[in-house]
Every structure is written in C-alpha cells, then in structure tokens.
Amino acid sequence: MTWGGPEAYVTLNDLTSENGRVARALTNFAQRTGLPISPDAVGDAVVEAARALSQGLYKRANSLVSGVLQFALHGVITLFSIFYLLMQGEKLRGFIFACRPWQATKTSSSSTSSARWDAPS
C-alpha cells in the first residue's frame, strides 16, 4: 500500500461491510476466542464510533473558530477604545465629570489633604 495508490483511500463502508478489513479481523478473532461477535455488530459499533468522532471534531472546530473570532473582535474593540481614549481622553474625562451626580470637594486640614464626596443638595 502506497500513500498515493488506489488502496490509500478506504471508506467506512469498506471497513465495516461483511467482507471489510475490520469485520474479517474481528470475525477471525471471535472464531479463535469463542466470543460472539457478528459482522453487523462490528459495523454498528464502527458507525457509532465514527458518528461520535465526527460530532466531537465538529464541536472542537466550532469552539476553536468561535474563540478566534471572539479574540479578533475583542482585539479590534480594544484597539479602537485605546486610540480614541488617547485622542479624546480629556474631553471624555470632562464629560464624565460633568455628568456625575456628586461633586468632589477638597478639604484641607492642618496636616493632610483629603477628598470628601458631597451629595448634591
């Protein structure tokens, strides 16, 4: 068997049919050991395993693509936020301080200076 030869690609049906490689190997094993293994049971088990594998791979690929897209989106949002904060930071700070419902007043004591928050009257 070569990588590019006609035997390189094996379908699931080739493996699980009554004359397939897996079915023949398990039938020979069953005959040698006396275990009751039928080709239909082997085919069903292989199909179920292939279904479970494909569903698992789909879930992993889906979560990988979703994670990459979320990372890219968050990166773009972060870059735009940083750019505009650097460009318009003072205006934004003034707007936020103008909209707040309280005002900060500084009180000075003899030894330390502390900020006190006064509620609007």
Residue 59 backbone dihedrals phi, psi, to 5 degrees? -65, -40
Question: Between 12 and 36, where is the model more confident?
Answer: 36
Give the pLDDT band (50/70/90) at residue 113: very low
Q: Taking the model in full, what pTM does it have? A: 0.48
Return the biggest CA–CA distance within the chain: 99
- Give Rg (Cα) of the chain: 35
Q: What is the mean pLDDT of residues 35-44?
A: 75
Q: What is the mean pLDDT of residues 50-77?
A: 95
Q: Distance (Å, rounded) from C-alpha 68 to C-alpha 46?
A: 33
| Nearest Cα to Cα of residue 22 among 4, 9, 38 | 38
Residue pair 119/103 in contact by the 8 Å Cβ criterion: no
Q: Mean pLDDT throughout 30-35?
A: 82
User: Per residue in 76-109, pLDDT tens?
Assistant: 999 998 998 888 888 888 888 888 887 666 555 5
**Would you say residue 66 has pLDDT above 90?**
yes
Question: Would you state the pLDDT for residue 3?
Answer: 54
Predicted pLDDT at 71: 98
